[in-house]
Amino acid sequence: MANRRDSRIEPSFEGPPRAKSSAGFSVSEEDRVVPSNRKTSAKRQSARTRPSRRGRGKSRRGLFAVLGRLAYWCFVLAIWGGIAAAGIVVYYGAKMPAATTWAIPDRAPNIRIVSVDGKLLANRGMSGGEAVGLHEMSTYIPEAVIAIEDRRFYSHLGIDPIGLSRAMVANVVGGRFSQGGSTLTQQLAKNLFLTPDRTLERKVQEVLLALWLEHKHTKDQILEMYLNRVYFGSGAYGVEAASRRYFGKSARDVTLPEAALLAGLLKAPSRLSPARDPKAAERRSQLVLAAMRDEGKISAKELTTAMSAPASRVASYWTGSENYVADAIVEELPDLIGDVRGDIIVDTTVDLTLQKLAEQSIRRLIDGSGKKLNASQGVLVSIDNSGAVRAMVGGYDYSTSQFDRASEARRQPGSAFKPFVYMAALEAGRTPDSVRNDAPIKIGKWTPTNYGGKYFGKVTLATALAKSLNSVAAQLTMEVGPDAVVEAAHRMGVQSDLTANTSIALGTSEVTPLELTSAYVPFANGGYRPEVHFIRRVTTAGGKVLYDNNGGGAPRVIKPEIVGMMNSMMMGTVEIGTARKAAFAWPAAGKTGTSQNSRDAWFIGYTANLTTGVWFGNDDGGPMKKVTGGALPAQAWHEFMVAAHEGVPVRPLPGTWRSTPADTIVQDELPPNTAQPAPMPSASVGQSAPSAQKASPPRALRPAETVDAGGFGMPGGGGTTASIKRPVPPGDVGGPVKKRQTSILDILTGG
């Protein structure tokens, strides 16, 4: 019995009592197929009531697992995003031409127009200014642009990931496209090759082109190309055009405040232009100065000085009258050199000093008397004996009206057209001493009347021209025929169509101031008609000559004796006639003109040095208040010519003519087959004057000289030109002559 009891207590663990089966068998825990969970339940109960270190370790491992999984999927997404981006780049890149064909397009050519002494008159072309090397321009300009636009320009490879990320975040947060992450290289790529559209395709292409630019060019080359092509507002492309547009100076001379203003414009050129919103431009320039200080480009002292002395800009870049000249030159260039394919330099005949004198004279008279006399516009054209235009003012203010009244506006010349009437009469056999009866006449239904209704009776042609008597001019037109007058005017240089009727004697056909002034030049140079021109030479920026006006034949259009008689008569206009206000210390001649109701007032006058024409009036054809050619035009002419002849040796007008003594003067007979004019109330043309008739006292012999081609610098001679004391074009500048149909009168007169 004892052994059996010991065998029952062998297990060392305490367990539940054995269960007896109904058959008398007992089953222990070891005998169970599925162990009881009582012990496990007890352990779990203990774990609930007492935390363990093992549990805390498991929670940490769970957090790391989550982070790991997050990093994994981010990495996966990054890979797929990179693949997608690469696919987009490949797709849009494939639509571009092969990289081997990429090339920097030519910059829009600039036309640099300079005066006869090398001073800049204007820049023309899409850029509006010449290209300036990075080493030539003010150092403040590139520093300001880099500080505000791309401060990591010299360190990135064409794309700035930091700037791009910053812009993306700002755009996402703001919910709109408010910032751009483009570098200067990307902006240059866009300006050179792409449209401004904000599309994914264009952005991808911009990036590819930026990388290509960085590979092909140095940083300085990229920056120089950018600064010479970027838009600065108000029609200015490139720093040179912008500097002259806003400050009236070259980019070489730009100061720190001016450079900051230019750099500030790049964000929004049109909106921030100082010509449109000076205050906005100034505020932006102060931000640029602060950025330059942050980048160490300027010192604190320079910042303070620049802030206290902001950039001062010119009132208006386009106000100078020299711009009328520049426009005329640009229109003429294609006929001389064809298409402009690169930067060129145009050397002109214009003297900038004379140009400014002319502009000041026109403006002073309009500012002083224009409102009182209802005169709002004025024109002045001055041409030397070789046909070179020395000055041309096309209106009161170019900035308010670019219409060139000198070369484009056709107006009635009035009595300023009469010299061609008298010239035709002299060529038909009359002389300055020929007598006509100045009295009221009627020609058909037309009754020409003198200014003021005053008549002088028997007068010589010299007196009639000096006093601008309309009745005598009408009589002479009837005698020689309107066709002869028209032919004479065209031969002298008038190009407009002229109506061949009797009223042409009083200047009823319209002409431009430029052509009318040019038609007086043969009186001043001895009878030759040179080609009127503005351009002396055209060269490339590298010095290659594209066009050179080396002179040319100037045909004789008036016989020397006719020149002498005409100059003798027209000197009377200045000495005793309607243009006495124009007289100065030089022998001068010319003719005034006033159209009906004082709509146009003219004076075209000349010395042996310069021929200058002046016009005053209104664009709408409105009448002025009793303004005649002897008033404002003669005053402006006097001011200009006195200044233009300062220090120039006095020269007499060409040609000689001696007046017939008074006691031998008889009225000339009409040539055969000349139509008789209509009857006059108190006199009839063609009657012989009795020898006892009183005539005008003989005019003293005026000092004069017979001038041939060489006398004013035409080919074969070395004459002088206008504006001594200043560089002038060579005397043989004349240019090719435009051919016109030769008339029988050209042959008879040697033309």
Rounded mean pLDDT of the chain?
Answer: 79
> How far is the CA of 34 from the CAs of 14, 19, 38, in angstroms?
19, 16, 12
Residue 370 has a pLDDT of 93
- Write phi, then psi, for 536 (nearest 5 degrees): -95, -40
Determine the average pLDDT of the residues in 335-356: 92
Distance CA 678, CA 718 (A): 51
Q: What is the DSSP letter of 119?
A: -
Query: Please, where in the chain does CATH 3.40.710.10 lie?
Result: 414-509
SS (H, E, C) 571-583: HHHHHCCCCHHHC
Active-site positions read: 149, 415
Going by their DSSP bridges, the two strands 344-348 and 111-114 should be labelled as parallel
For residues 517 and 523, give the distance between their C-alpha atoms in angstroms, rounded to a whole number. Answer: 11
Burial 697-708 (b: 16+ CB within 10 A, else e): ebbeebebeebb
Please state the rounded mean pLDDT for residues 81-91: 66
Q: Which pLDDT score, from 0 to 100, does residue 275 have?
A: 78
Q: How far apart are CA 531 and CA 550, in angstroms?
A: 12
What is the reported pLDDT for 87? Answer: 67
Q: What is the structure's pLDDT at 612?
A: 98
- Determine the topology of domain 414-509 in CATH: Beta-lactamase (3.40.710)
Judge whether residue 699 has pLDDT over 70: no
User: CB under 8 Å to 299, separation ≥6 — which residues?
Assistant: 293
Write out pLDDT tens, residues 493-552: 999 999 999 899 999 999 999 999 999 999 999 999 999 999 999 999 889 999 999 877
CA 633 – CA 630 distance, rounded (Å): 6
Average pLDDT over residues 698-724: 31
Question: Average pLDDT, stretch 111-133?
Answer: 89
Give CA–CA dist 331/606, Å, rounded.
28
Task: Reply yes or no on whether the pLDDT at 588 is more than 80.
Answer: yes
- For the chain, how are helix, strand and coil distributed in percent, rounded to 5? 45, 10, 45
Distances (CA, A) of 630 to 35, 41, 299, 638: 137, 130, 63, 11
Cα end-to-end distance, the chain, whole Å? 170
- Quick one: what percent of the chain has pLDDT higher than 70? 73
Assign 3-class secondary structure to 446-476. Answer: ECCCCHHHCCCEEEEHHHHHHCCCHHHHHHH
Strand partners, 436: 459
Q: What value does the mean pLDDT take over residues 317-340?
A: 88
pLDDT in tens, 102-115: 777 778 888 999 99
Nearest to 462 by CA among 428, 418, 493, 528: 418
* Number of Cβ within a 10 Å radius of residue 403: 14
Name the nearest CA neighbour of 634 among 590, 595, 596: 590
Task: Say if residues 538 and 519 touch (Cβ distance below 8 Å).
Answer: no
Which residue's structure tokens are 């092509």? 229
- The residue assigned the tokens 């240059």 is 188
If pLDDT is split at 50, 70 and 90, which confidence band does 126 have? confident
Cβ partners under 8 Å of residue 290, min gap 6: 303
Pick the range with the lowest mean pLDDT from 399-403, 674-678, 726-730: 726-730
Model confidence at 429: pLDDT above 70:
yes
Those residues with Cβ within 8 angstroms of residue 86's Cβ, 6 or more apart along the chain or in another chain: none
Per-residue confidence at 91, pLDDT binned at 50, 70, 90?
low
Q: Return the residue matching tokens 């001389």.
A: 336
Locus of tokens 């232009």: 273
Pick the CATH number of 132-308 from 1.10.260.40, 1.10.10.10, 1.10.3810.10, 1.20.1250.20: 1.10.3810.10
Q: Which of 15-19, 531-535, 677-681 has the lowest mean pLDDT?
A: 677-681
Stretch(es) of the chain classified as CATH 1.10.3810.10: 132-308
Q: List residues bridging with 710 in a β-sheet.
A: none
Q: What is the per-residue burial (b if ≥16 Cβ within 10 Å, else e) of 64-91?
A: eeeeeeeeeeeeeeeeeeeeeeeeeeee
Q: What is the DSSP letter of 536?
A: E
Quote the pLDDT of residue 196: 63
**Crossing angle of helices 140-149 and 278-294, rounded to 10°:** 90
Statement: the pTM of the whole predicted model exceeds 0.95 = no
What does DSSP assign to residue 237? B
